[in-house]
A and B are shown apart, each in its own frame.
Chain A
Amino acid sequence: MIVTRQKGSLLLGASGLILLLSTLVFTPQNKLIILSASMLMLVSGSLIYFKEVYGSSLSGIKNNGVWFNALTAKGIWGWVLGMTLTAFYVAIYWFPEVLGFNSNGTSSGFVSLFDPLSYVLNGNPATQWFLYGTLYTLAILIFGVKFIWKYRHNRYQIIRTVSVMFFQLCFAFLIPEILGKLNPETPYFAKDLKNMWPLNYYFLDQWHLKNMLNGGNLGLVFLGTGLALMFLISPILTYLYGKRWYCSWVCGCGALAETAGDPFRQLSSKKVSVWKFERWMIHVVLVFISITTIAVLWSFLSSNKSMSIISREQFVGGVVVFILILMGVLFFWKKDGLNKDAKYTLLSLGIILIAVLSIQAFSGEKNILFINSYTLQKWYGFGIGAAFSGVLGVGFYPILGSRVWCRFGCPMAAILGLQQRLLSRFRITTNGGQCISCGNCSTYCEMGIDVRAYAQRGENIVRSSCVGCGVCSAVCPRGVLKLENGPLENRINSENYPLGNTLK
C-alpha cells in the first residue's frame, strides 16, 4: 500500500518534471496552463512522496541505505544527476539561448514558460535568471519540507529549515522582484538584502555603487543596510552565535545545500590533506576579495570625485587604520590554542595592508598595480561567481558533497569563519567522555570536519568552517554533541583525558 502510493507520487512528480522540461523543445500556446499544471504535478508529487517515505515510519535518524544508493553514494545516478545539473548551469551562465532566452527580443521555450509568473511579480517577461531564481527557490521549498519531515523529531533542524526557506522565498525571491516592479525607473542594483558583500562580490563595484547612489531612497537604504550588515550586524551576530546565523539560517547558497543538497552531505572529504588545502584556500580567497574590492573602491573614488564623500587618500588611510586595528585586536586576543590560525590571519591581513599601500603608491587613474581593476573583477566573476559557486558548487553536489563552494570558495564564509574561530561564543560542546568514536558525526558533516577527532578526545569543536547545521549532534547515537553559545573562557577545552577517568 505504502509502496504503491510512493510509486504513484513519484510518477506524478516525474510527469510534472517531464511536462516542464518538454518546453525545452516546444513553446506552449497557453503558458499559464502548462506552467501551473507542471508545477502542481511536480510539487504535489514530490511532497506526497516525501510524506510517504518519512511520514510512514517512526521519527528518528533516517540514514538507512545512504551508502547503498547509487544516487547518494557516488553511483551511476549520482553521476547522471551531477552531469545534468552541471549542464544546466553551463546553459544558464553561458548558453541561455538553449533554454529559449532571447536577449534581443521575445524569448521562447523553457524561459518563456515562466512569463506568466514573471509578469505578476516584476512586470517583465521572464529571463533565464528569473527561471533560475524560480527553480532555485522551488527546490529549497520542496526539499525544505522534505528535510523537516526527515528531522521532525528535532526542533533545531525544523526552525533552522523554516528560516532558510523564509529568507530564500521572501528576501531572495519575492521582495527583489516586487521592488523591481514598484521602482521601474531606478537603475538596477541587487535587492536581496541578506546577500551582502563579499558573497555579493560586486556590491562595492563602481557601477553598483553608482546605481545605488542614483537609486533614490531605496538605493540609499540598500547601501546603508549593506554597509551596516558588513561592519556592524554581521560581526555582532557572529560573535554571539557563530557563523551559523548566516551560513545555515539565512544564506541562499546554504539554503540550497541544506535542503536539496542534504542527501549528499556525507560526500565531503574528511582527509587531513583536504583540510590543509581548505585553510590555504580560504586565506587566499580572503586576501583576493579584499584587495580587489579595495582596488575597485579606490578607482571609484579616483574617477567619481563628485559622488564621493571622501577622497581616495582618506579612504586608503581609513583602510590602513581599520586593518591595523584588526591586527591589534587579533594580536592581543589570540590565545595559546589559536596561535596557528591567528598567525595565518595576521599574515593575510599583512598582505592586504601591503597591497593597499602599493595601490596608493603605484596606481594611476584606471590601472590598479598596472592591471585594469575591472579585468580583475571580471575574472573573479567568471572564476568564482559562476564557475565555482554554480557549476562546481551545485553541479557537483552528488560527487563532492553539498558545501564545496561554502568550504573552499565563499569569501563570506571565509571572513565569518575566521571570526568564528578567533572571536565568537559559538562552539560544539563534547559531552565529557561519552563518545564511542563511531564516526556518524564526521561522516555526515557537510563541511568535511572530522568531528570525531575532537569528540573522542573530549574536546570541544571550534572550527572556522563549521556552519552550525547541527546534523552531527542529531546523528550522534550517544548524545555527545551540542551546539551552543557560551563564554570565551575554556571554549577550547583541550585536556589530557576525556571525562570519566580520575587521571589528570
Chain B
Amino acid sequence: MTSNKPKSSIVIIGNGISGITTARHIRKQSNVEITIISDESPYFFSRTALMYVYMGHMQFEHTQPYENNFWEKNKISLVHKRVAKLISEKHMLAFEDGSSIVYDKLVIATGSKPNRFGWPGQNLKAVQGLYHKQDLEQLEAWSGSIKSATIVGGGLIGIELAEMLHSRGKKVHFLVRESSFWNAILPEEESEMINQHIRLHGIDLQLETELKGIESNEEGRAKGVHTTRNEFIECQWVGLTVGVSPNIDFLKNSSLETGKGIKVNSFLETNLPHVYAIGDCAEQTEPLEGRQPIEAVWYTGRMMGETLAKTLVGEKTKYVPGNWFNSAKFFDIEYQTYGTVTSTPVYEEEQQLFWKHPKKNNSIRLSFNPSTNTLLGCITMGVRLRHSVFDEWLTNKEPMDSVIKNFKTANFDPEFYPTYEKELTMEWETLKRHNNP
C-alpha cells in the first residue's frame, strides 16, 4: 500500500501527450508533487510515431521525446501500473495489483481505444486495431505470418496501417465505407487525389465496401473477411480502424459523469471536485462554436494540458483553443489544414478557391465567406503553409484579396521548391470575374 502521500499531490492517469504536457507545465510553475500513472509504457512516447517503428524508420526509443532520466530530474514520479477503479470519496485510485494511491487533484488523460462494432469474428486472433504500444507489438508478432491483410475503415489510422503493412511487402486490402477516402473531411478533388495515390502504391482500395464478418481458421485466427460486396478476401490479419472512442471503461462504476467521454466544462472540470479530464477521453459539455465535443487529436490534447496546468497551479483558466489546425500524411502526400473548410459547403456561407497542379499531387483550397470575401480556412496537399501567418489571417478575418496578394509570406515549402502563387492568383482572378461578371 502506498497510500501515505503528503499533501497537495497531483496524480495524472495516462502518459500521453495530454498528461505529459500537464505535468511538464505544472513543473515549470510549481514544486507540487506529481505522479503519472501508465500501464501502457514506462515512459512517454509519441503515439503518432508508432507507424515509423513498424516501417523501420525509427526504433521505439526514438519515439520517446525525453531521455529516461528527465522524469527523475524534474521530480515527476512514474508509476507503471493499471488503474482498476476510482474511489473518489476517498480521493483514491485502486490499482489492478491491489495497491492504491491517494490524490489531492486527479487528472484523467487516458486517451482512446479502437472501436469495434460487433462484427462476427471481431475477437479472433490476428484481428486488432492500432492505437496502443501493445497493438504495435501484437502486429509485429503476427507480421511474419502475414502475406495479405485487410484493413477496415478509411480514416487516418487506416491509411497509416495500409502504408505500414505495404512497406513490409504485404498485400493490403483496404475497405472504406465512404464513396471516396476520408470524404467527410476532404473535398472531392483532394479525396480523389488520395484514392489514386493509394492505388498507385498497389493497395487494393475498395470504396463503398464494408465488413460483414471475419472467418476463422481451425486455430481461431482470421483467415479472411466477407465484405458487403459479397466477396471473400483471403488474408492472415485484419485491422479494424473504424474510429476511436474514449478509453474510460475503468470509470464505469464511479460517480464520475460520463457520456461518450468524461463530461467536462470549459475549465476541464468533471462533476467531481478536484477531478479533471483532458485529451481524447474528455467530452466538452459546452464546446466552442464550430468545434466538436470530443476532438481526438494530438494538438488539442497538448493544449488542454497546457491550460489545465495553469488551473492546477492556482490560476483558474478556461480551455479556449485558437483557430483550428491539423495535418497528416497520406503515404507520400502531406496534408495541412487551417481554419474551416467543409467538404461539401453551403454556397451562401462558404465559397472555395481551388488550385491543383496539372500533374503533381499539389493543391491549395481556400475557403472564404462570399458575403464579406474574408478568409475562412484552407486545405493543402503537398504544399506546406506557415501556421503563424494563417493563424493571424484567420483571427483578423483577412480579406481574400490581401490573402492572395501576400500568399508568398505563408509559403513554408523548403527553399528552391516550385512556387504556385502566380497560378493561385490567376485562379482567384478568374473566380472573382465569375462572381462579379
Q: Which residue of A lies closest to B395 (CB)?
A: A502
- Bound together, the chains give a CA A60 to CA B48 distance in angstroms of 19
A500 x B325 contact (CB < 8 A): yes
A439 x B63 contact (CB < 8 A): yes
Of A102-110, A140-148, A154-162, the stretch lying at the interface with chain B is A154-162
Whether a CB of chain A sits under 8 angstroms from the CB of B259 is no
Binary contact track A428-444/B, C-beta < 8 Å → 1, others 0: 01011110111110110
A60 x B321 contact (CB < 8 A): no
Which A residues are in CB contact (< 8 Å) with B414?
154-156, 470, 473-474, 482-483
Which A residues are in CB contact (< 8 Å) with B200?
58
Q: Which residue of A lies closest to B59 (CB)?
A: A67
Which A residues are in CB contact (< 8 Å) with B391?
432, 499-500
Interface secondary structure of A, over-half rule: loop
A479 x B336 contact (CB < 8 A): yes
- Bound together, the chains give a CA A121 to CA B17 distance in angstroms of 60
Known: A479-B384, A497-B306. A64 touches B49 (CB 8 A): no
Which B residues are in CB contact (< 8 Å) with A64?
55-57, 167
B329 x A503 contact (CB < 8 A): no
Binary contact track B10-27/A, C-beta < 8 Å → 1, others 0: 000000010000000000
Interface size on B, residues (CB 8 A): 51
A500 x B412 contact (CB < 8 A): no
B48 x A437 contact (CB < 8 A): yes
Q: How far is the CB of B104 from chain A (nearest CB, A)?
A: 23
Q: How far is the CB of B266 from chain A (nearest CB, A)?
A: 12
- Bound together, the chains give a CA A501 to CA B310 distance in angstroms of 13
Q: How far is the CB of B66 from chain A (nearest CB, A)?
A: 8
Q: How far is the CB of B327 from chain A (nearest CB, A)?
A: 4
List B37-56 residues whose CB lies under 8 Å from chain A. 46, 48-49, 52, 55-56
Known: A155-B414, A433-B387. A478 touches B56 (CB 8 A): no
A443 x B62 contact (CB < 8 A): yes
Known: A156-B417, A439-B63. A479 touches B56 (CB 8 A): no
Which B residues are in CB contact (< 8 Å) with A68?
56
B46 x A501 contact (CB < 8 A): no
- Bound together, the chains give a CA A432 to CA B299 distance in angstroms of 11
Which A residues are in CB contact (< 8 Å) with B415?
155-156, 470, 482-484
Binary contact track A480-494/B, C-beta < 8 Å → 1, others 0: 001110000000000
Which B residues are in CB contact (< 8 Å) with A456?
65
B416 x A433 contact (CB < 8 A): no
Which B residues are in CB contact (< 8 Å) with A156?
414-417
Whether a CB of chain B sits under 8 angstroms from the CB of A376 is no
B332 x A61 contact (CB < 8 A): yes
- Bound together, the chains give a CA A499 to CA B417 distance in angstroms of 25
Which B residues are in CB contact (< 8 Å) with A67?
56-59
Q: Which residue of B lies closest to A156 (CB)?
A: B414
Which B residues are in CB contact (< 8 Å) with A474?
414
Q: How far is the CB of B178 from chain A (nearest CB, A)?
A: 23
List A433-488 residues whose CB lies under 8 Å from chain B. 433-434, 436-440, 442-443, 452-453, 456, 470, 473-475, 477-479, 482-484
Whether a CB of chain A sits under 8 angstroms from the CB of B128 is no
Whether a CB of chain A sits under 8 angstroms from the CB of B422 is no
Whether a CB of chain B sits under 8 angstroms from the CB of A37 is no
User: A residues bordering B, Cβ < 8 Å?
Assistant: 58-61, 63-69, 153-156, 159, 271-272, 429, 431-434, 436-440, 442-443, 452-453, 456, 470, 473-475, 477-479, 482-484, 497-503
Other contacts beyond A431-B387, A436-B327, A479-B412: 16, CB < 8 A: A63-B56, A65-B56, A67-B56, A67-B59, A155-B414, A155-B417, A432-B388, A443-B58, A443-B62, A479-B334, A479-B384, A498-B302, A499-B322, A499-B391, A500-B323, A502-B320
User: B residues bordering A, Cβ < 8 Å?
Assistant: 17, 46, 48-49, 52, 55-59, 62-65, 67, 167, 200-201, 298-299, 302-303, 306-307, 310, 317, 320-323, 325, 327-329, 331-332, 334, 336, 384-388, 391, 412-418
- Closest 7 pairs (CB-CB, A-B): A432-B387, A60-B332, A479-B384, A438-B49, A65-B56, A477-B329, A155-B416
